[in-house]
Amino acid sequence: MNIDKRLQAAVQSYWDARRKNKEKQVKSGKIDAGTRGEVTGGTQMGALEVLVSDILCEAGLEKVDIRTRTALELPGYFRATKKWDLIVVSNGALVLAMEFKSQAGKSIGNNVNNRSEGAVGSAKDIWTAFREGRFGQAPPPFLGYLFLFEDRDNVKISVANKEPYFQVDPEFRGEAHSKNTTALRQYKGVSYSKRYELLCRRLVLERLYTSACFMMATNSPKTKITQPAEDLNFRRFVAALRGHVVTFLGSRAR
Domain residue extents for the chain: 45-156+191-251
**pTM (whole model) above 0.85:** yes
Burial of 109 (0-12, 13-18, 19+ CB in 10 A): exposed
Q: Where are the beta strands (DSSP E) in 84-180?
A: 86-90, 93-103, 142-150, 176-179
Burial of 177 (0-12, 13-18, 19+ CB in 10 A): exposed
What pLDDT does residue 252 have?
78
CA–CA distance from 205 to each of 10, 118, 199, 231 (Å)? 27, 17, 10, 11
What pLDDT does residue 174 have?
82
For domain 45-156+191-251, give the CATH number.
3.40.1350
What pLDDT does residue 179 have?
52
Burial of 41 (0-12, 13-18, 19+ CB in 10 A): middle
B/e letters for 214-240, b = 16+ CB within 10 Å, e = fewer, are bbbbebeeebebebbbeebebebbbeb
- 73-110 pLDDT, tens digit per residue, is 999 999 999 999 999 999 999 999 999 999 998 778 77
Backbone phi, then psi, for 104, in 5-degree steps? Answer: -145, 160
Within the chain, which residues score under 70 in pLDDT? 25-43, 175-187, 253-254
Q: Name the 3-class secondary structure at 107.
A: coil
What pLDDT does residue 39 have?
41
What pLDDT does residue 3 have?
96
Distance of CA 58 to the CA centre of its chain: 22
What pLDDT does residue 254 have?
58
What pLDDT does residue 88 have?
98
